[in-house]
Amino acid sequence: MRIAVVVLAAGSGTRFGHTTNKVWLPLSGRRIISRSLANAVKSFPKSRNILVINPDDAALAKDVLRREARHIKVEIVAGGASRHESEHNALMHLAPAIEAGKVNVVMIHDGARPLATSVLFHDIAMAAHHHGGALPAIVVDPLEIDIHETRQIVRVQTPQAFRAKELLEAYTKADRDGFVGTDTAACMEEYFPNVQTIAVTGEVTNVKITYPQDLVIAEHVLEKRGYKE
């Protein structure tokens, strides 16, 4: 398996010297993004690692990577106005390698999820390699959504991984058609509904830092893990 790991961190950039993008926040001594990146690449010693950032954060990214992720070889790509556009830019950056067969699986991860473990990344990559696509999902009690809801509902997380050629083609077609997906799987489903996407059991601790209290939860999880992952 020849894998490329894409970590998305292209939210709003630095304004008046102040960071506004949460992925650059400190979390137990290291930036959220360097924790996401370190966990993402841990299982893949030969992966190509792409960090998608807001161009306004370029200086900050360079400094953080030098201090906290010196051991990881990272290629920086400028993100777009939406998540979909950032994914598209990363895939265009990887296109020559995908077309040459040097990358056959692409894994896309949200930089604001610093607690996804290296085991989850490994399982998702293996499932995508064997089946075509994979994503982590957590089963939700449907009654939490609506008391009349009877269907089984799952909460989808990242990392999401797909076979590289199909993924590149899906994003190329989406660009041509003006289609914007909510996540990687949505775009694949639109253009390759026959590609099997396997749901791997997600991790309850794989929270996306969204609310202030998520940072407190993440600190506690990291402490329980001995700050290892």
Partner 1 sequence: MNEEVTAELHCSHCDHETIHTLVYAGRLLVSTTCQTCNSQVKHEAIDLRLHYLKDLEHRISTKPRRLWRGFWSAPFSQMVSFPKKFMSQPKKIWKEIKAILGR
Site of interaction with partner 1 (CB under 8 A): 11-12, 18-22, 24-26, 28-29, 70, 209-213, 215-216, 219, 223, 227
The minimum distance between CB 49 and partner 1, in angstroms, equals: 18
Residue written as token pair 């957590």:
138
Residue 15 CB, shortest distance to partner 1, in Å, is: 9
Q: Minimum CB separation from partner 1 for residue 211, in Å?
A: 5
CB of 193 or CB of 226, closer to partner 1: 226
Taken in order 142, 152, 161, 205, the sign of the CA dihedral is: positive
CB 128 within 8 A of CB 105: yes
CB of 26 to partner 1, least distance (A): 6
Q: Which is nearer to partner 1, 178 or 226 (CB)?
A: 226
Residue 12 vs 82, nearer CB to partner 1: 12
Given a contact cutoff of 8 angstroms between Cβ atoms, the answer to whether 155 and 140 are in contact is yes
Q: With respect to partner 1, which residue has the nearer C-beta, 29 or 193?
A: 29
Please identify, using beta-carbon distances, which residue of 97 and 217 lies nearer to partner 1.
217
Shortest CB 190 distance to partner 1, Å: 27
Per-residue b/e over 144-176, b at no fewer than 16 CB within 10 Å?
eeeeeeeeebeeebbbbbbbbebbbbbbeebee
DSSP character string of 150-166: -S-EEEE-S-EEEEHHH
